[in-house]
Amino acid sequence: MFGRPVKGGVDLNIGEEEYEVSYLTDIPRDFLTAMIFALKEDKDFCVWVELEYDTRMKIISDYYDTYLIINENLTVVKDINKWMLAMEMYDDFHDFFDEWCNLQFYKSEEELERFPESFLRLLENLSAILQNARLYLQNTEMYDKSRQKEFYRNLGKRRM
């Protein structure tokens, strides 16, 4: 989902789609908070990101697909759902934790000091949800696509 963050932006990949996202918003907090809410409350995942000046992308992901809306143009990424995005998001934020903490340059000194702890807390919350996802998904009959079945079967096998 996310590449290694660098000053000014980060690559965002969803399926075959690739974009460079700018840091005009708090990417880790926005994405993690929205995903945790979506999974806990059984809602669609939805978040806005800045691609470049005056260009925003809305990302919506449900049980089956992900939808990218840029300047009223819709791209549907088939068979990539919110659970898949959540797993990729966790892995990428976890793998590049220090880089994300070091790139929070729009924050006050106090916010910078608190950021690593609050970021880690959000990652731990998402990790707990993903570890418990197998039980939830086994009791749900709406997951019948083969690609998604394979993802759910391996959900508990990935690093947390």
Q: What is the mean pLDDT of the chain?
A: 82
Residue range 104-120: mean pLDDT, rounded: 80
Q: Identify the pLDDT of residue 89.
A: 94
Residue 28 has pLDDT above 50, yes or no: yes
Question: Does 148 have pLDDT greater than 80?
Answer: no
The pLDDT confidence band at residue 160, using thresholds 50, 70 and 90, is very low
What is the pLDDT, as a whole number, of residue 32?
97
Q: Is the dihedral of CA 37, 38, 42, 43 positive or negative?
A: positive
Band of the pLDDT at 143, cuts 50, 70, 90? very low
Count helices and strands (H / E) in the chain.
5, 6
CA 31 to chain centre: 5
pLDDT, tens digit (0-9, with 9 covering 90-100), for 56-69? 899 999 989 999 99
**CA-to-CA dists, residue 89 to 2, 29, 92, angstroms:** 7, 11, 5
Residue keyed to tokens 């995942």: 45
Q: What is the pLDDT of residues 30-52, one digit of tens each?
A: 999 999 999 999 999 999 998 87
CA dihedral (99, 100, 105, 110) in degrees, to 10, reads -110
- Virtual torsion, Cα 16, 8, 67, 42, nearest 10 deg: 120
Lowest-confidence pick of 24-28, 65-69, 154-158: 154-158
Task: Look at residue 10 and tell me whether its pLDDT is greater than 70.
Answer: yes
